[in-house]
């Protein structure tokens, strides 16, 4: 097992409950110090207190097991609104919100996320034809055809 997988197991062990999950773990080596970036989320959103608790517990275990061979900086946070969705669980959490999707073929779609299943997502996209009323069309997108998807923030 590599260091990233080991750290992911440690993080999962220290999450408060099953509603919390790991989004991403990155170990970045720039210069003499390593940076450990841990992104966690929860079905009902994450708090700064949860990030702090996980950070302390994970840091203590990394130190006790001497997993990092040199000085490092660790950051535990939520993914943030501009971070691309990467798991079925993140999509599930965002049902009803507008997403901007880039497909593998480069096509970009924007629409409301209406469903998520094991294979992919359903997006409600508004189609406007000249001289006709706008029509909402349901488009199914398999996960393996999605290159990137982000939540569109609206201030309306």
The more confident residue out of 155 and 104 is: 104
What is the pTM (predicted TM-score) of this model?
0.78
3-state SS assignment for residue 125: strand
Neighbour-count burial of 6, counting CB atoms closer than 10 A to its CB (0-12 exposed, 13-18 middle, 19+ buried): middle
Q: How far is CA 113 from CA 4, 42, 100, in A?
A: 31, 18, 10
What is the b/e burial string over 78-112, where b = at least 16 CB atoms within 10 angstroms of the residue's CB?
bbeeebbbbeebbbebbeeebbebeeeeeeeeebb
Mean pLDDT is lowest, of 41-45, 68-72, 116-120, 148-152, for: 68-72
pLDDT tens string 59-105: 999 999 999 888 889 999 998 878 899 889 999 999 999 999 999 99
- Tokens found for residue 47: 């708090």
pLDDT tens string 92-116: 999 999 999 999 999 999 999 999 9
CATH of 88-151, one of 3.90.45.10, 2.60.120.10, 3.40.980.10, 2.30.30.100: 2.30.30.100
Q: How far apart are CA 22 and CA 83, in angstroms?
A: 14
Q: How far apart are CA 130 and CA 32, in angstroms?
A: 59
DSSP string, 6-43: HHHHHHHHHSSSTTEEEEEEEEEEETTEEEEEEEEEET
CATH of 3-77, one of 3.10.580.10, 3.40.50.10090, 3.30.300.70, 3.10.180.10: 3.30.300.70
pLDDT at 36: 94
Pairing of the two strands 72-77 and 33-42: parallel
Instruction: Give the residue extent of every domain in the chain.
Output: 3-77, 88-151
């Amino acid at each position: 097992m590599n260091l990233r997988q080991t750290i992911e197991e440690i993080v999962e062990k220290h999450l408060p409950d099953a509603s919390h999950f790991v989004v991403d773990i990155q170990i970045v080596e720039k210069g003499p110090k390593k940076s450990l970036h841990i992104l966690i989320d929860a079905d009902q959103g994450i708090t700064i207190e949860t990030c702090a608790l996980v950070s302390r517990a994970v840091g203590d275990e990394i130190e006790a097991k001497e997993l990092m061979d040199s000085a490092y900086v660790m950051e535990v946070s939520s993914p943030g609104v501009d971070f691309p969705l990467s798991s079925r669980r993140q999509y599930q959490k965002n049902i009803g919100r507008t997403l901007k999707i880039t497909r593998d073929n480069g096509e970009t779609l924007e629409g409301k996320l209406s469903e998520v299943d094991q294979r992919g997502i359903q997006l409600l996209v508004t189609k406007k034809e000249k001289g006709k009323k706008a029509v909402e069309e349901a488009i199914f997108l398999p996960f393996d055809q999605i290159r990137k998807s982000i939540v569109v923030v609206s201030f309306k």
